[in-house]
Amino acid sequence: MPLDQSKFPKAKKNILSREEVKAIIRGEGKTRPAQVVTPLLFVPEEQPDREEFMKNLFEEYPDDAVFFEYTRPTNFGKPGDRYCWCDVEGADPMTKLAPGATIGIDEKTALEWDVIQKITRDIPDPYFPKSLVQNYFPDDGRYRGLFWTRLSFERLWHFRGMSETLMDFYLNPDEIKDLLDRLKHILFKVIDRASSDEYKFDAIAFTDDIGMQDRPFFSEEIFVEFLKPHYKEIIDYAHSKGLDVWLHTCGNVEPFIPHLVEMGLDVLHPIQKYTMDEKKIVEQFGDKLCFWAGMEVQRILPFGTPEDVREEMRFLMDTFYEPGKGHAVFSSGNRLGKDIPSANMAAFFEEMYLYGEKIAAQGHAENHRSPSSYKDIRP
């Protein structure tokens, strides 16, 4: 469907078409870099006093690609329920807490293996909800995709808890592999529906945080044995259905990037600042992978000045995007939190467009420094 710019009456920019975004992902982008912040990274319920401000920003600077969050299954249901993660009667750990007791966030859905093995194998059923996605609207000519959280590791610790999952890789490897196999077949159905005539999405985006601030959660050997085969099957199946695959993973995942490239991942987010060297990653993999480069949200966006934010955006675009061979899209590194001043939020959106237009018009990037290279930005 052709892109109709008149559908964006408040926009301060022309929106990129589906074909232009696809060209960027292939490393053939000749336009300004694409903006893919996605409203999924701003949760209005967490910032009701700023909801109108953010709504106006997204109307003035609409995303060039649209992702729809999936309709979330309930964590716990009852026997016979088709859209929950666990249908075993009485399994919910929260119902067993003593009055006043608390548990960690990763333990709120954690189950023993004997309970997991009782869960109906083909739930949640992606064909059960009337709509697979939330807040759906018809094709408007932009690149579109489904946003599905917790691909592999995150889903494992959702079932088992963080500590237990990390030990399970060594103590219960067969159970881990069986659970990943069950999840794979559910995700195949998700991909089937996302790529069907009902939606005709261009992509599916997953989250799977496998990195900490200074290292991955587990060794490269664990990744290769357990997660890489799962990722590969999902990526291959999505590609067979005509979908690009985008992956968000926080933290330092540098040891895993060669494997992600080998598996055929299309787009990787966010190359988190202060955990990896952006220039080094681009030099190694910039011609092999499209980066969904993320503006830093722990220091620069919340605690820098508006000019720091603009300078960081110029640095990111100079680092990740070369007009004529464009191979990056841009966003925030994670959620746009309430600690980010509104002036910084506006600078982020404005500079993403203005500097992107500048380098596209002149045909080359420049050589801006990150403010982190000469000042310590902290609370």
pLDDT tens column, 42-60: 988 899 999 999 999 999 9
Question: Residue 38: is its pLDDT beyond 90?
Answer: no
Give the pairing type, strands 143-148 and 84-86: unpaired
Q: By C-alpha distance, which of 76, 72, 58 is closest to 8?
A: 58
pLDDT attached to residue 152: 97
Give the pairing type, strands 290-295 and 267-269: parallel
Cβ atoms of 85 and 124 within 8 Å: the answer is: yes
Question: Residue 103: is its pLDDT beyond 80?
Answer: yes
Cβ atoms of 332 and 42 within 8 Å: the answer is: no
Q: Is the pTM of this model over 0.85?
A: yes
pLDDT attached to residue 9: 96
Question: Residue 1: is its pLDDT beyond 90?
Answer: no
**5-373: which CATH topology?**
TIM Barrel (3.20.20)
Cβ atoms of 250 and 272 within 8 Å: the answer is: yes
Would you say how long the chain is, in residues?
379
Considering the chain, what percentage of its residues have pLDDT values greater than 70? 100
Question: Residue 347: is its pLDDT beyond 90?
Answer: yes
| Local structure of 253: helix, strand or coil | coil
What value does the mean pLDDT take over residues 321-348?
95
> What's the mean per-residue pLDDT of the chain?
96
What is the separation, in whole angstroms, between the first and last Cα of the chain? Answer: 46
pLDDT attached to residue 325: 87
Q: How confident is the model at residue 10 (pLDDT cuts 50, 70, 90)?
A: very high
Task: Determine which of 141-150, 178-187, 194-203, 319-328 has the lowest per-residue pLDDT on average.
Answer: 319-328
pLDDT attached to residue 279: 96
Whole-angstrom CA distances from 145 to 36, 64, 206 are 11, 12, 10
Q: What is the DSSP letter of 216?
A: B
Amino acid identity of 56? N
| 3-state per-residue secondary structure call for 70-137 | ECCCEEECCCCCCCEEECCCCCCHHHHCCCCCCCCHHHCCCCCHHHHCCCCCCCCCCCCCCCCECCCC
What value does the mean pLDDT take over residues 309-324?
96
What value does the mean pLDDT take over residues 84-103?
94
Whole-angstrom CA distances from 212 to 156, 218, 247 are 17, 10, 16
Question: Residue 341: is its pLDDT beyond 80?
Answer: yes
pLDDT attached to residue 324: 87
Q: What is the C-alpha separation between 73 and 189, in angstroms, rounded?
A: 14
pLDDT tens column, 213-237: 999 999 999 999 999 999 999 999 9
Q: By C-alpha distance, which of 53, 49, 195 is closest to 132?
A: 195
Q: How confident is the model at residue 2 (pLDDT cuts 50, 70, 90)?
A: confident
Q: What is the C-alpha separation between 211 and 250, in angstroms, rounded?
A: 6
pLDDT attached to residue 303: 98
Q: What is the DSSP letter of 206?
A: E
What value does the mean pLDDT take over residues 245-267?
98
Question: Residue 287: is its pLDDT beyond 90?
Answer: yes
Question: Residue 362: is its pLDDT beyond 80?
Answer: yes
What value does the mean pLDDT take over residues 11-35?
96
Q: By C-alpha distance, which of 328, 330, 327 is closest to 312?
A: 330
Q: By C-alpha distance, which of 350, 342, 314, 356 is closest to 12?
A: 350
| Local structure of 331: helix, strand or coil | strand
Q: How confident is the model at residue 311 (pLDDT cuts 50, 70, 90)?
A: very high
pLDDT attached to residue 334: 95
Structure tokens at 67: 């992702």
